Amino acid sequence: MKISKMEFAKTVGFASGAAPGGVSRRDVLAALLAGGAIAATWSAPAAAAALKKAGAPAVLRPALGAEEMAILSAAAQVIVPATDTPGAKEAGVPQFVGALFTGWMTDDEAALFRKGLAGLDASARERYQLGFAACSPEQGAEVLQALRASSPYGGRTFSLTDRILDPKAPFYLRLRDLVVLGYFTSEAGSNQELRYMPVPGKFESNVDIKDWPYQVVI
């Protein structure tokens, strides 16, 4: 059964924070979402350039290792799989999240994110005797669902931006929200999944309900 990718974008809420040097991480994220950073597919250089243009700090931490990127790529593809439209890997989302790790997350957030990837891999090995990257999509989904169930979050905002900016967000929510952000700021996600519904616009007394799930507020 195919599930709409928009189902993965229905998330719950977070607080804010600031990057070193006084640069607001909220401002960096807002600049990315403004539209100038949209790429056909995210590559590591493209994502890094977009972050720099948006005002991210110039000093970068070392990138995630190859094994960590493999775990991240597999998890991203489970969260946004390829259906009749490209999945997270095809849209370059792992490279986008990797760039956020090196140039946007605080040191504490980066440490928790790296620890979360290791925990995801350890859970897969315990459950299936396989690393997460080697699991089937079904097995990966089982591991992520278990992680979701064990990651309570008390936030009440429906803003994706606020939720991402919360330094206390559980790893599962941080991973899921960054994957969703990366996907819907790629050209594949923005052009093939979303629909532009201008507000204010003319009054429409009869709107096809199939367009409703595709509305997005930034």
Phi, psi of 205 (to 5 degrees): -80, -15
Q: For the chain, how many structural domains are there in total?
A: 1
- Model confidence pLDDT, tens digit, residues 76-129: 999 999 988 889 999 999 999 998 898 888 888 899 999 999 999 999 999 999
pLDDT of residue 107: 87
pLDDT of 217 reads: 38
Residue 115: CB partners within 8 Å, gap ≥ 6? 171
Give the single-character DSSP code of 19.
-
Cβ–Cβ < 8 Å for 83, 2: yes
35: domain range? Answer: 5-214
Q: pLDDT of 179-218, one tens digit each?
A: 988 888 887 877 777 766 666 566 666 666 655 554 443 3
Mean pLDDT of the chain: 75
